[in-house]
Structure 1
Amino acid sequence: MPRTAAAPDWEPPEAEVEPTYRPVQINRADGSWAVGRINAWWHPSGDSRTWCRVKAMGRGEASTWMPFDPEHLLLLPTTGT
């Protein structure tokens, strides 16, 4: 099964997953933005892409794995002044 957001039941090997908590703004395909979070990273060997498990907030959507793309996922600050 391909590793895309279209396959929400797909999971990488748990031993290779790095838990995290990173707030993000998600640029959706329709051009709208949503607040969400990245709750895991995965760096597969032999693949130059970094994958992340993303969950949008407020719509009851499930988490999904997708390649990290800074044009579609804007990392938000976790600390500030």
Structure 2
Amino acid sequence: MEVQYPDGTWRLGRINAWWTDDAGELWCRLRTLPGGDGPRWHCYDPESIRLLPSAGI
């Protein structure tokens, strides 16, 4: 996946968990690579968190 930071930059990373809160909001636990921020929970927003294929065509 790629995540966009408030300053407009994009970083590659991985999502290792998903969670839906009581309000129905979808959250993901992501870590940026290489050596970026430690894992953090982010409210999933497809405009700022792009899911990328990990294998296949």
Which residue is equivalent to 1:38?
A: 15
Q: For the pair shown, which has the larger CA radius of gyration, 1 or 2? A: 1
Structure 2 counterpart of 1:28, which letter?
Answer: Y
* 4+ aligned runs moved over 6 Å, structure 1: none
Give TM-score, length-normalised by structure 1.
0.64
CA distance in 2, matches of 1:51, 1:31: 21
| Matched residues, number | 57
Q: Return 5+ residue gaps in structure 1 as ranges.
A: 1-23
Going by fraction, where is strand more abundant, 1 or 2?
A: 2
The normalised TM-score by structure 2 is 0.86
1:16-75 alpha-carbon deviations (Å, 9 max, x no partner): xxxxxxxx011111111100011100112x312101101011234111011101011000
Unaligned residue ranges in structure 2 (runs of 5+): none
Identity in percent: 39
